[in-house]
A and B are shown apart, each in its own frame.
Chain A
Amino acid sequence: MAILRKLKEKLKKIIKENMPKKKALDISKESPKPVESKKQMLGTEELAIEKTKFSHPEVARMRRAMPQELPGEYGWDKIILQVRDPWWIHAYWEVRPQVFERLMHELGDEFYRCRRILRVYDVSQVIFNGHNAHKFFDIQINEHTNNWYIDTGGPGRSWCVDFGLLLPNGRFITIVRSNTVQTPLDGPSWITDEEWMIPEDMFARLYGMGFGLGRSSPVGKVWQERVKRALFSGVLASPGMGSSPVKKAKERKFWLVVDCELIVYGATEPDAKVTVQDREIKLRPDGTFTLRFALPDGKQVIPVKAVSSDNLEERTITPVVSRDTKVNSLVKA
């Protein structure tokens, strides 16, 4: 009971705290609350790494036709809510044109003075019947919008949204009502009651192993004592979590890379034996060959020796190549 009272007080406090900021917020405005900075840091780093799993440049695959488009609507009236995080929920909806036509017919001229509204209800711990929400707030929507991010400002609460028309006289007509969603808490729960269990089959195994009951009764008692004594207020989390700045993509400065490779090629009788720098190489069927070397600075002496298949003739040609790389940089002020 004490817990319930505590819960109620806490809820009241939360509601009070959040009351003044109930404004329709555009998606472009980011959530004002820092989302668990440590977690976020790690998350961002992981995201950058995770991306490398799909690390390929985009290939210009325009030639492969993109499939046709998905339907713009499915011909039903509904609004769906999903939770993005402890503060934000997302709504998307579809309403058939004939629904608006019917309303237009019913409301006459007044229809044109109506505003399209998302009415966001806080329905925490109630079975919502349209009238028993703790509170609600409205977001005005323009005619062509079909989805919206809603800043609820209320972690750990339940939400339901009506899409409808607000008449100039303050009357609200619900067109579609959403599912109910619950935002998660953004911190530890304030409920500290404990409940423990041993699954039936695992208990049965312990029991069968011979120290079942004997162990569970006295040890269990000691355990519970200890639980009571050791009730610590904080929740265990990893110690020593500092925040670390996220590595930014390196800035692309002006740059130049130059390297040299050397191609050595030639031809001889297809059945001759050829060595280059004393290493035997393979000839193509027509007796030609090509070798390609990364060419470092310095002098390369490259004897190419061919020996006829009958071993009676031998010829050597030795290109000598040297590379000397100079680097100059100039930065104009």
Chain B
Amino acid sequence: MRSLKMNKGYLCLVLHGHLPFVRHPEHEDFLEEDWLYEGITETYIPLISIFEKLVQDNIDFRLTMTLSPTLISMLSDPLLEERYIKHINRLIELSHREMERTAWQPHFQRLATMYLNQFCSVRDTFERYNRNLVNAFKKFQDLGKLEIITCGATHGYFPLMDVHRESVRAQVKVAVSHYESVFGRKPRGIWLPECGYQPGHDEILKEAGLRYFFTDSHGVLHGTPRPKYGVFAPIYCKGTGVACFARDLESSKQVWSSIEGYPGDHNYREFYRDIGFDLEYDYIRPYIHPDGVRINTGIKYYRITGEGNQKEPYVPEWAREKAAEHAGNFMFNRQRQVEFLYDFMHKKPIIVSPYDAELFGHWWYEGPQWLDFLIRKIACDQDEIRLITAYEYLEENPRNQVITPSLSSWGWKGYSEMWLQGSNDWIYRHLHAASQRMTELAKGFTNTDGLLRRALNQALRELLLAQSSDWAFIMGTGTHTSYALRRTKEHLLRFNRLYEDIKSNSLEEEWLSDIEYKDNIFPAIDYRVHQ
């Protein structure tokens, strides 16, 4: 029930859903595809189940969610859908075996049962939406509860593409037309990959019909001139009028800080204790990587417990209670924040709290429950804050300050260093060369068909795939970098060969078909957007 009493401020929750495009039809089983499967089991379906129940219970809510074009493409890919079914079936089989194995340990058997039920219901939900979860998200958007925004086509980090803005334009335009083909309308907002904003890129957003984007706090706080309301009101970019909403650090910290953050609570599930590592090798072997390397299965029996290695079994009821308590605490803090700001600003503040969607459920197992409690409490227990989407806010508050936001990202240290450091700076020489060549091709071949057109489109696909910020990010973390290296090189090499073959008019259809089959993202791509 929406209360009749006036609210004093708004809360804009944003979940940024993104995974890089990982799809290897050429391999029977590919480890990194698990990123998607884990996302489906632990994040996307739990979120969908929450939305379903909220609608059932007639609880009004507003949530903004990015579904990156790469994530959408994978979620609606028949091969990956089929592989996911295999994956979840194996998990169900494993949890059956776990129930049997733990017969003399009631603590653990209860948890094994919990996982079995969870996996079965996940599979049901997956089947219910015809294995394509994009249908589910679209349903909630059509109901007006969810605002789905777009992202860079492959999550390229825009500030480090600035020397070739044609690439930024291609990232945006491909994303927007992909969104339109999936959701049947244009996107209103965009999540800039890694929240990376470079002054001037709002022009490209405007061209693409996008009305708003998000930055990290300092993107607006360090903008020029000074933002009168700090991060608690959006601003319009000077020259374009595209609106920019900035992240509130306090609410982010409450969720992620290891000291004050919720996920570190001792009652929550311990991420690092997985039966894929804990159990006897021969037994677990069929459920880990075919090469025999132990990996996370998703079945975890312990709670965080405390510092040290001694862990106690997980108690779902305790964790659930904590999630409710933390949701209450989060709401309480937002209420105080809103009251304080309202008196100070003489205007209703908007608090923008963006989070990486995959970390709800995957990293923070109870995250989806927390979100559910939070939404219900906001709807039923108070009047001060109201959930809102960025677009609704603009409709209600169209008059805003005009500034030029500052270069910024939400990555480590707040700028571009995560993607530009000793371990990954070498990629830009090649990425920029490819961008330059792609522009040359797009300008040089204005009207094409047949094999040439296919090759040009594929060249843009390869370039976009090479640009994913995920590869530079993984190289930057310094661990498990070989896959990221391989992907960067592979796409760039494919691009370079396409470029040379196109220029020398020596395209080989067989090879082209092969890479079209492997890198099949964006079937309707038009290479001419790269200008």
Contacts and interface: CB of A to CB of B under 8 A. Distances in A.
Contacts of A199: 236, 241, 398
Nearest to A187: B222
Nearest to B257: A244
B432 interface: yes
A92 B429 contact: yes
A49 interface: yes
B480 A54 contact: yes
Contact of B432 (A80, A85, A202): A80
A197 B401 CA distance: 6
A185 B363 contact: no
A277 interface: yes
Interface in A274-313: 277, 279, 291-296, 300
A206 B159 contact: no
A53 B358 contact: yes
Interface in A250-272: 250, 255, 259, 261
Contacts of B411: 43, 47
Given A85-B417, A230-B346, A56 B228 contact: no
Contacts of A194: 225, 228, 401
B163 A236 contact: no
A293 B356 contact: no
A226 interface: yes
B422 interface: yes
A195 B402 contact: yes
B493 A235 contact: no
A238 B337 CA distance: 8
A84 B222 contact: no
Interface stretch (B56-64, B102-110, B185-193): B102-110
B410 interface: yes
Contacts of B103: 277, 279, 293
Given A47-B477, A84-B416, A191 B224 contact: yes
Contacts of A291: 100
A320 to B, nearest CB: 13
Contact of B496 (A38, A71, A189): A71
A182 B159 CA distance: 12
Interface in A65-90: 66-71, 74, 80, 82-86, 88, 90
B309 A82 contact: no
Nearest to A220: B399
A104 interface: no
A236 to B, nearest CB: 3
Contacts of B291: 59-61
A80 B271 contact: no
A68 B493 contact: yes
Contacts of A259: 280
Contact of A42 (B256, B283, B345): B256
A55 interface: yes
Contacts of A179: 163
Nearest to B283: A292
A11 to B, nearest CB: 13
Interface residues of A, number: 99
B222 A74 contact: no
Is chain A's interface secondary structure helix, strand, loop, or mixed overall? loop
B433 A85 contact: no
Contact of A52 (B363, B473, B474): B363
Given A54-B474, A70-B492, A59 B289 contact: yes
Contact of B346 (A83, A226, A235, A238): A226
B16 to A, nearest CB: 11
B394 A35 contact: no
B207 interface: no
A294 B105 contact: yes
Nearest to B102: A294
Interface in B382-419: 394-395, 398-403, 406-408, 410-418
Nearest to B241: A199
A17 interface: no
B416 A42 contact: no
Interface string B477-501: 1011010011001101100100000
A168 B202 CA distance: 47
Nearest to A71: B496
Q: Which of B340, B346, B406, B470 has the most CB of A within 10 A?
A: B406
Contacts of A240: 250
Nearest to A219: B399
A210 interface: no
Given A38-B249, A84-B415, A294 B108 contact: yes
Interface of A: 27, 35-36, 38-61, 66-71, 74, 80, 82-86, 88, 90, 92, 94, 147, 179, 181-199, 202-203, 205-206, 223, 226-227, 230-232, 235-241, 244-247, 250, 255, 259, 261, 277, 279, 291-296, 300
| 6 shortest interchain CB distances as A-B pairs | A236-B230, A238-B250, A202-B398, A85-B415, A247-B258, A184-B407
Interface of B: 19, 31-32, 34-35, 97, 100-105, 108, 159-160, 162-163, 199, 216-218, 221-232, 236, 238, 241, 248-253, 256-261, 264, 271, 280, 283, 289, 291, 293-296, 307-309, 337, 340-341, 344-346, 356, 358-359, 362-363, 394-395, 398-403, 406-408, 410-418, 420, 422, 425-426, 428-430, 432-433, 470, 473-474, 477, 479-480, 482, 485-486, 489-490, 492-493, 496
20 contacts: A39-B218, A39-B413, A42-B249, A43-B411, A52-B362, A58-B482, A66-B486, A80-B432, A83-B159, A83-B415, A84-B416, A84-B420, A181-B162, A196-B401, A197-B236, A205-B398, A231-B228, A238-B231, A241-B250, A241-B253
Given A40-B414, A50-B356, A56-B296, 6 more contacts: A52-B363, A82-B416, A188-B221, A236-B341, A239-B337, A246-B258
